[in-house]
Amino acid sequence: MNIRKLERIAYAPYDTIQNPTREDWQKSYDALVQLAAEKPEDGRYPNTLGYLCYYGRHTGQRNYEEARMWFEKGNELHMIESAYKLSDMLAEGMGGPVDGDRAMKLRILVYLFCRDEFEGGMQDSKFADTALRMGRMLHEGKICPRNDLEALGYLLEAKYAIECRKQYHEYGDETVEQNILRLIDECEKPDNEVRNWKQFGLNLGRVPDHLLANKDLLMTMKMDVDDRGTIRLEFRRRRKDGKKPNKILWSIAPAMKVYMLDSVVLYGAEVRKIWSRTPGETVTCDRYEYAEDTETYTFFLDNEPQCSLQGGWFVLPMDELKKTEMDSHPGGAPGGRQ
């Protein structure tokens, strides 16, 4: 049987059968197994097999061990859906032993992928679900240290994304939204941070590392220094192909706010050393590194250092936050056969 006929059988319960029976799902399973054998480079087939086994549609009984095996294959073939589901199974020990480190790495990978898609305008996406998982992981503290403030940042993004997604459909979004709101309520609120923020400005610590998560993006950094040594940094994205760049999703947990912005402004205080190849000009970079021991940021373009900042801590003053609120306007990851 040729590939096209096998695919028609494999996906008939999804596409053409109104109320598929267990027999229909079994035919789908058998066709998918054959497809996975004949086209081992195609990750769609093991991904769909993973979901069939996870829900037990063809047998009436869930088989987590087989589902995990198929999701592993899908993940090896760069199926983001498989990585998404595999991370859950690794975190909970479904179908095999718990592997917290790997679960966390996969969740971060899926989160960054989905975040990039969302920032690019795909609001009808899984980003809300992936941000929710990141927030829950940090709040529960089972496979990583608990950090409610960081968890709130992800949960606020999830809330923002679910509000965008509800414009398109309501597939389970009420439940997802309730889970997001429940976890936000469970998190220890950053009362001390909020009080400090209202007095001095929002302490952001380090420059966020997700600004350049997409390899197709460049970042420009405009730096101004005042007489006291305080620097103003304005970050903007630029696409290598010249097209319009993705907006920047910017969550501020202490302020309980999320924005979608064209640029992000930070102020760095107590910066001990500033170096630039082109003083006074806008710096363009494609990546940056932070050395913990020397507290130094180095910004690179094609592996050539362009600028470095040593020491300092970053804040978003109240007046800049108010400007951000006025300028902000909304800008969502791929679906799959489940």
pLDDT in tens, 99-145: 999 999 999 999 999 998 999 889 888 999 999 999 999 999 999 99
> Which carries the bigger pLDDT value, residue 112 or residue 188?
112
Show the domains of the chain with their CATH numbers: 1-98 (1.25.40.10), 201-327 (no CATH)
Check residue 115 and give its pLDDT.
92
Please compute the mean of the pLDDT values over residues 303-327 and round it to a whole number: 75
Q: Across all residues in the chain, what is the average pLDDT?
A: 86
Q: Residue for token digits 């199926």?
A: 79
Check residue 37 and give its pLDDT.
96
- CA neighbours closer than 13 Å in the CB half-sphere of residue 45: 21
Instruction: Give, in order, the Cα–Cα distances in Å from 217 to each of 143, 206, 220, 251.
Output: 31, 20, 10, 20
Quickly list DSSP for 53-120: HHHTTTTSS--HHHHHHHHHHHHHTT-HHHHHHHHHHHHHTTTS---HHHHHHHHHHHHHHHHHHHHT
pLDDT in tens, 250-288: 888 877 888 888 888 888 877 888 888 887 789 999 988
Check residue 110 and give its pLDDT.
95
Considering the chain, what percentage of its residues have pLDDT values greater than 90?
A: 51
Check residue 40 and give its pLDDT.
96
Instruction: Give the confidence band of 193 by pLDDT, cuts at 50, 70, 90.
Output: low
Cα(264)–Cα(331) distance, integer angstroms: 15
Q: 130: which 2 tokens?
A: 């992936």
Cα(236)–Cα(224) distance, integer angstroms: 15
- Number of Cβ within a 10 Å radius of residue 39: 14
pLDDT in tens, 159-186: 999 999 888 765 568 889 999 999 999 9
Cα(276)–Cα(307) distance, integer angstroms: 4
Check residue 335 and give its pLDDT.
38
Determine contact, residues 211/117, Cβ cutoff 8 Å: no
Residue type, 200: F
Check residue 167 and give its pLDDT.
82
pLDDT in tens, 46-95: 999 999 999 999 999 999 999 999 999 999 999 999 999 999 999 999 99
Asked if residue 199 has pLDDT above 60, the reply is no
Please compute the mean of the pLDDT values over residues 1-10 and round it to a whole number: 92
Please compute the mean of the pLDDT values over residues 285-310 and round it to a whole number: 90
Check residue 290 and give its pLDDT.
87
Asked if residue 318 has pLDDT above 80, the reply is no
Strand, helix or coil for residue 12:
helix
Check residue 245 and give its pLDDT.
86
Check residue 333 and give its pLDDT.
36
